[in-house]
Amino acid sequence: MYASEQFEIQRADTDDWFDAIIDTDTKLFVDPFLIFKEREGFWSDGHAIMMAHFNACFSLIVNSIGNVDSLAYKKAVALLTFREPKEMCLGYTSRGSRGSGGGPQYAATIAEAIGDAIARGLVSLRHFVELGILNEGIGPDRISDLACTILKPKFIAYTQEIAASRVQLGCASIYG
């Protein structure tokens, strides 16, 4: 069932929002590289939001001085845990919308990659690909989960904006 059916929304030809299938994942992914290319409009701050997140993790790992048992390191790992937002309904899950996402093991891999980058002399991040996390097992589904998790507040705001515009259109047609 599509979201538009569930919530009884009549789509217009001009609508540009994704009508998710809500009971199973759609084999589509959010590509952060496309978000990074946005120079104006709603998503133009997407790159800055993602980089702020990774830079905060980077700083925590620097402050941990490589001690994986330190509070700073554990906080970084927690911030690097990217569970699949099930309400996005995107990914490879063939049944339902509960994929594996990026759990603690994936977070530890990213934290280790950050630690390795620091050991190689990297002092700040310009882009998260500098971490070398695009390794085996970290493909489009997990990268999408990462982007969706970090940008979830933006997706919520976008959904609210679309919903508000639909309500305004509905009221205009009722009263206008």
pLDDT at 152: 92
Establish if 6 belongs to a structural domain: no
pLDDT category at 97 given cuts 50, 70, 90 is very low
**Could you give the percent of the chain with pLDDT greater than 70?**
79
Establish if 24 belongs to a structural domain: no
- Per the structure, the count of domains in the chain is 1
Specify the pTM: 0.76
pLDDT category at 153 given cuts 50, 70, 90 is very high
* Domain limits for position 117: 33-84+99-175
Average pLDDT, the chain: 79
Establish if 13 belongs to a structural domain: no
Q: Which two tokens stand for residue 130?
A: 């500098």
Average pLDDT, stretch 68-72? 96
Establish if 5 belongs to a structural domain: no
Establish if 14 belongs to a structural domain: no
Assess whether pLDDT exceeds 50 at residue 96. Answer: no
Establish if 89 belongs to a structural domain: no
Give the whole-angstrom CA distance, residue 32 versus residue 91. 15
Assess whether pLDDT exceeds 90 at residue 17. Answer: no
Establish if 71 belongs to a structural domain: yes
pLDDT at 15: 79
Give the whole-angstrom CA distance, residue 166 versus residue 23. 23
